[in-house]
Structure 1
């Protein structure tokens, strides 16, 4: 079962969560932080994304930049928010 989003804007609205409370993350999802030089945003994404090669590339970048000591206390991915949303939209297609 997959999700289909008509646009990147819709994808952003569905995966971005305003709260940082761990209990806001439903079963089968995980919270990640997307950080660039100016901004950090929290997103809740399906765990199944971890198996996707394009998402694994982002995880490798996160490991290179942060190691396993993430400053936000959770998985932080170093990339622009628009690039992350584009990737998520393609994974949902």
Structure 2
């Protein structure tokens, strides 16, 4: 299970190297101002995203879908969003732009 962080960086190169560095961190290491979520339909991948994403309508739609499916009982021990990773990363990339 990998960890992917989506910080707000201007350079894609910096963003990629930062993502690789976060993968090697302890799974319990979530920096202040960030939230860990588990994404995937079968295999879950852990993403660490900024709390500011919670205010965005696209991310709120994902949270509503998660609530409908899992309620408040998340089997991974953290917030679980059941969608394809590709869809999630696409949405996250849109949030970084706006």
Note whether the superposition's TM-score is higher than 0.5: yes
| TM-score, normalising length: structure 2 | 0.76
- Any stretches of 5+ residues in structure 1 without a counterpart? none
> Which of the pair has the greater relative contact order for Cα pairs under 8 Å at 6+ separation?
1
| TM-score, normalising length: structure 1 | 0.80
Stretches (4+) displaced over 3 A: 2-7, 16-20
Question: Is the counterpart of residue 30 in structure 1 residue 24 in structure 2?
Answer: no
CA drift of 1:5 comes to 5.7
User: CA 1:26–1:63 in 2, change beyond 3 Å: closer, same or farther?
Assistant: same
CA drift of 1:28 comes to 0.4
Aligned to 1:21: 27
Q: Does the Cα contact within 8 Å between 1:62 and 1:78 map onto a contact in 2?
A: yes
Aligned to 1:79: 83
Q: Does the Cα contact within 8 Å between 1:32 and 1:74 map onto a contact in 2?
A: yes
